[in-house]
A and B are shown apart, each in its own frame.
Chain A
Amino acid sequence: GAGVSQSPRYKVAKRGQDVALRCDPISGHVSLFWYQQALGQGPEFLTYFQNEAQLDKSGLPSDRFFAERPEGSVSTLKIQRTQQEDSAVYLCASSRSRGARGYGYTFGSGTRLTVV
């Protein structure tokens, strides 16, 4: 596609519910990143994929957070047993080069998760 597509745009979850957020990167992009952005703050790194390999998951805040990219294209961020502090915008970004150095680094519009 022309850009990075994320779905759903908005998600309201009851506390304790599991959610799955989807990211469709730009076709052919090797690298894919997930970020968490709290209100009024900059994005915070969650995890990085190079093709299907998850090379860094050091930013995942707890073992309730899980990300996958099984075929090296679409990625899913799953949050189990959601809690109120999980409320944030979840951004996905992709790049045609390995890592984040490339000029083609593009963000999606994000999924706004609200846990009630």
Chain B
Amino acid sequence: KNQVEQSPQSLIILEGKNCTLQCNYTVSPFSNLRWYKQDTGRGPVSLTIMTFSENTKSNGRYTATLDADTKQSSLHITASQLSDSASYICVVSASGGYNKLIFGAGTRLAVHP
């Protein structure tokens, strides 16, 4: 069964600190992996998207890694800001057909001053 598991479920950090969120998946065949940020009451917004051949991608203070062999990804946030408080969702696209997206449950991050 295609699944995406994220950890931790929730995380509290102090402003200015770094953190790393984890994603494990069992989706096959694999097309790409995306990280989304979802603010409360808003729709998810794409941060990064990586294909099989990419093992790291950055977007400002966000850096995603992908290990396609172990089927693991991480999202590293550097020098956190209060505005980083949100849910971060790992999404894997299965190739074939219309590339259905499989969503993780998300990690809820709270950045405190």
Q: A41-B106, A101-B93 are in contact. Are A107 and B45 (CB under 8 A)?
A: yes
Q: A17-59, CB under 8 A of B: which get 1 and which 0?
A: 0000000000000010101000011111100101000011000
Check A45–B105 contact: CB distance below 8 A: no
Question: Could you tell me which B residues sit within 8 Å of A by CB distance?
Answer: 4, 31-32, 41-46, 49, 89, 91, 93, 95, 97-101, 103-106, 108
A4 at the interface (CB under 8 A from B): yes
Check B99–A99 contact: CB distance below 8 A: yes
Q: Which residues of chain A have C-beta atoms less than 8 A from B43's C-beta?
A: 4, 91, 93, 107-110
Check A43–B98 contact: CB distance below 8 A: no
Give A44 to B100 CA distance when docked, in angstroms: 11
Check B99–A100 contact: CB distance below 8 A: yes
Number of A-B residue pairs, CB cutoff 8 Å, is 60
Check B93–A43 contact: CB distance below 8 A: no
Check B98–A98 contact: CB distance below 8 A: yes
Known A-B contacts: A35-B103, A41-B106, A50-B98. Give 13 more (CB < 8 A).
A40-B108, A42-B103, A42-B105, A43-B103, A45-B100, A56-B100, A100-B93, A100-B99, A101-B31, A103-B49, A105-B46, A110-B43, A112-B41
Q: Which residues of chain A have C-beta atoms less than 8 A from B97's C-beta?
A: 99
How far does the Cβ of B88 sit from chain A's closest Cβ, in whole Å?
A: 11
Subset of 11 A-B contacts with CB under 8 Å: A33-B101, A40-B108, A42-B104, A42-B105, A43-B89, A45-B101, A48-B98, A56-B100, A101-B95, A101-B98, A101-B99
Give A40 to B104 CA distance when docked, in angstroms: 11
Give A93 to B100 CA distance when docked, in angstroms: 12
Q: Which residues of chain B have C-beta atoms less than 8 A from A107's C-beta?
A: 43-45
Give A100 to B91 CA distance when docked, in angstroms: 11
Q: Which residues of chain B have C-beta atoms less than 8 A from A103's C-beta?
A: 46, 49
How far does the Cβ of A55 sit from chain B's closest Cβ, in whole Å?
A: 7
Q: Which residues of chain A have C-beta atoms less than 8 A from B93's C-beta?
A: 100-101
How far does the Cβ of A49 sit from chain B's closest Cβ, in whole Å?
A: 10
Q: Which residues of chain A have C-beta atoms less than 8 A from B98's C-beta?
A: 31, 48, 50, 55-56, 98-101
